[in-house]
Amino acid sequence: MSMVLLIAAGLAGLGGCLALALSQHRHWQAAMRSSSLPPRWARRLGWSLIAASLGLLIMRDGASFAMLFWPLLIGAGALVTAGLLSWKPTLLSPLSKWCTGRR
Amino acid sequence: MTRISAEFRHAMHWAHSWLGVVLGIIMFAVFWMGTLTIFAPEIDQWMIPETRIVHQERDISYDRLLAELPPEARASAYINFVVPTERHPAIGFFYQGADGTFHDSALDPATGQPLEMTDSLAASGFFYPFHLSLMIEWQNLGNWIVGLAALAMLILLVSGLFIHRKIIAEFFVFRPHRKARRATLDLHNLSSLIGLPFYFLMPLSGLLIFAFLYLPWGIGEAFDGDMDAAYAEMSGDYAAPERSGRPAPLASVDAMKREAEALWSAEEGVPVKTNLVRVLNHGDETAVVYFRNTFPEDRVVLSEYVAVFDGASGRLIRNFSLPPLGEASAWIQGAHFVQFGHWPLRWLYFFGGLGGCVMIATGMLFWLRSRESKLANTSLGYRVVEALTIGGVSGIVLATAAFLVANRLLPSDAALAGIDRAGLEVRVFWLMWLGTFLHAAVLRERAWGQQCWAIAVSGMAAVILNAATTPHHIIAALSGGHWAVAITDIVLIAGAGLALWAGLRLAQNAEPRSSDLKALPAE
């Protein structure tokens, strides 16, 4: 159970960073290779996922550990996001398409 | 958002550049050694192979260990046992000899016999003190320099936030293929932002841990300036009375240990074990037995349970637990000491520490890159900063690798000009570090690549030497449950690979760099 919570928190943190990055014009356009505008709710989704990862970590270890773990985990998510965007932003286009398809 | 005036930004920029350039190397050294200290017990096992013991829960009888004390320790004023744990599988054993000198050794947890150990300061004896004092002991000068660097780091983090014009818009931006100067700044910004809360917490908590040294007056005021009394009141430290000279047998230490642990567990609601068993004035009627629990496994907040017993009667004479007021500072201290049993968090700390190293290194590199274009790169000041940056970044990493290689190469009876084996290992570190500064001063930019190659070669050499000089090569370590050794080897290989890659990249860039230089002023 604790492993599941850890993985879920990691995925939520990474997903949150990806959504926040895609909510910005330059990254959205690089990922989609188009001049369309990022959906408005991407930013809200990003913050919600980042908050969710904090919630999962508090559930797993309590607030005392989560206060240390969460900022570092989000930092790792931001690093992976920046790495993906700089290396192959189009890898993110299926994600973006999936997002817009649901709109 | 309120606009930040150009003047204010300029002032912040000035503070950021100069604090960074003056204290950058110290900050890098402290961050680097702190990062290694996160895994100090594991590196200790790698460097002192006799302590590579697979931990088992055992009921160790301290009565028996005390009965079998070496003769010179029997009348010691200070005997200290460190209870073995998974990360420290041997029983730590310290005592003060009759002449006042301290003897530090380890006992086999299975037999209680002293371990014949490789003479090395290893990580706990070198990386850790380096992290907090740069090994400068005179008048606590080292602590003060590190404290100054910690304070500077807090100022640098705040001023950096003001200088950065597009924090939000460029949060996730990294452009490695742009010009070197731009890519360096991107990496500096990215590595700073992703670890920002961690980089704040580390110098802040470090300063707090040493508040006693840095700001003693306020604390001492409540105790009429008696710092020892203040310290004893806050930590539960206990000073033994003078030896009376009348011998008396010691009551059962094991029974006292059970009583102390039962007391603490009742207070805490979960089992609490002692980390330390300390006997003061052994063999005397004034003997005192002291137990302490400081590092709980399951939470960040340090605990500070101390129980002191009268040695002759076995009666509890002092039961100390941390006052609740200390809870917040105990969390901050616990966050810095990283002694809790949370492995994913420990690894994130390690990568956070490396991220801090990247932040400091790219900051110094950017200082150089923004000045080379102004054709100031022949000035003495520029060349000094350049040599200090190269030696301070790749140099200290290389010196660390050389320290590990020396640990595996020096024969067990090595001694030179009155310096023992452990001292020689440390000399290798300092000489290698000094050498990297000279190398950088002479070869300038080319030194980066060459030092990267040297790091890759020494990192791999350390792994090969471990396989050659101990029975625990990676495969054997993994299958034998020696995780500490296996992981140290794997991290060494990964580090060597990274250094190799960096060396290759630098060699590729060496050619076009000269034309790059000419193109830069147009940027």
- B231 contact A CB<8A: no
DSSP state of B3: P
Cα separation, B162 vs B168, whole angstroms: 13
Locate the DSSP E strands across chain A.
none
**Polymer length in residues for chain A:** 103
- Answer whether residue B502 shows pLDDT above 60: yes
Distances (CA, A) of B206 to A4, A93, B153, B156, B261: 34, 44, 12, 16, 30
Q: Is the pLDDT of residue B435 over 60?
A: yes
* pLDDT value of residue B321: 78
**Most trustworthy range by pLDDT among B10-14, B114-118, B387-391, B476-480:** B387-391
Q: What is the pLDDT of residue B403?
A: 97
Per-residue model confidence (pLDDT) at position B323: 63
Tokens representing B308? 């002191």
Residues of chain A contacting B, Cβ within 8 Å: 6, 17, 20-21, 24, 26-27, 61-62, 64-65, 67-69, 71-73, 75-76, 78-79, 81-83, 85-86
Stronger pLDDT, B73 or B84, i.e. the higher one: B84
Task: Inspect the interface and report whether the beta carbons of A61 and B342 lie closer than 8 Å.
Answer: yes
DSSP codes joined into one string, B108-133 = -TTT-PBP------HIIIIIHHHHHH
Please report the pLDDT score of residue B218 as a whole number.
66
The pLDDT of residue B390 is 95
Which stretches of B68-179 are DSSP H helices? 122, 128-133, 141-163
How confident is the model at residue A48, as a pLDDT?
A: 95
For residue B193, which residues of chain A lie inside 8 Å, CB to CB? 78
Using CA coordinates, name the residue in chain A closest to B190: A79
**CA B429 to CA B135: how far, in whole Å?**
12
Which chain B residue lies closest to A25 (C-alpha atoms)? B169
Helix (H, G, I), strand (E, B) or coil at B468: helix
- Indicate whether B140 pLDDT > 80: yes
What was the pLDDT predicted at B156?
A: 95
What pLDDT score does B500 carry? 95
Residue B99 in tokens? 């002449």
User: Contact at 8 Å (CB) between B35 and B353?
Assistant: yes
The region of weakest confidence among A31-40, A54-63, B249-258, B280-289 is A31-40
* Local confidence band at B517 (pLDDT 50, 70, 90 cut-offs): very low
pLDDT single digits (tens) B219-267:
666 666 676 676 666 666 677 778 888 888 999 999 999 999 999 998 8
B387 has a chain A CB within 8 A of its CB: no
B162 reaches A (C-beta below 8 A): no
Kindly state the average pLDDT of the residues B434-449: 93
Distance from CA of B335 to the nearest CA of A (A): 8
**Best residue of A28, A86, A92 to probe chain B, by most B CBs closer than 10 Å:** A86
What is the predicted pLDDT for the residue at B143? 92
Count of alpha carbons within 13 angstroms of residue B259, beta-carbon side: 18
Q: Is the pLDDT of residue A101 over 70?
A: no
Whether A82 sits inside 8 A of B348 (CB atoms) is no
Confidence category of residue B57, pLDDT binned at 50, 70, 90: confident
Average pLDDT over residues A47-68: 94
> Number of A:B CB contacts under 8 A?
75
A41: pLDDT strictly greater than 70: yes
pLDDT of residue B520: 40
Q: Are B390 and B449 in contact (CB under 8 A)?
A: no
Nearest to B428 by CA among B146, B40, B120, B118: B120
* Interchain proximity A68–B172, CB inside 8 Å: no
Confidence of residue A29 (pLDDT cuts 50, 70, 90): confident
Q: Which of B187-201, B209-223, B233-247 has the highest mean pLDDT?
A: B187-201
Reported as a pLDDT band with limits 50, 70 and 90, residue B1 is very low
Looking at residue B59, its pLDDT comes to 87
How much is the pTM? 0.90
Q: Which pLDDT score is estimated for B305? A: 86
| Most B-contacting residue of A17, A20, A28, A79 (CB-CB within 10 A), to test interface | A79
Among chain A residues, CA nearest to B352: A72
Q: Is B278 helix (H, G, I), strand (E, B) or coil?
A: strand
User: Pick the residue with more confidence: B175 or B490?
Assistant: B490
More confident residue, B215 or B142: B142
The per-residue pLDDT for B210 is 84
What's the pLDDT at B267?
A: 86
pLDDT at B394: 95
B346 touches chain A (CB under 8 A): no
Number of domains in chain A: 1
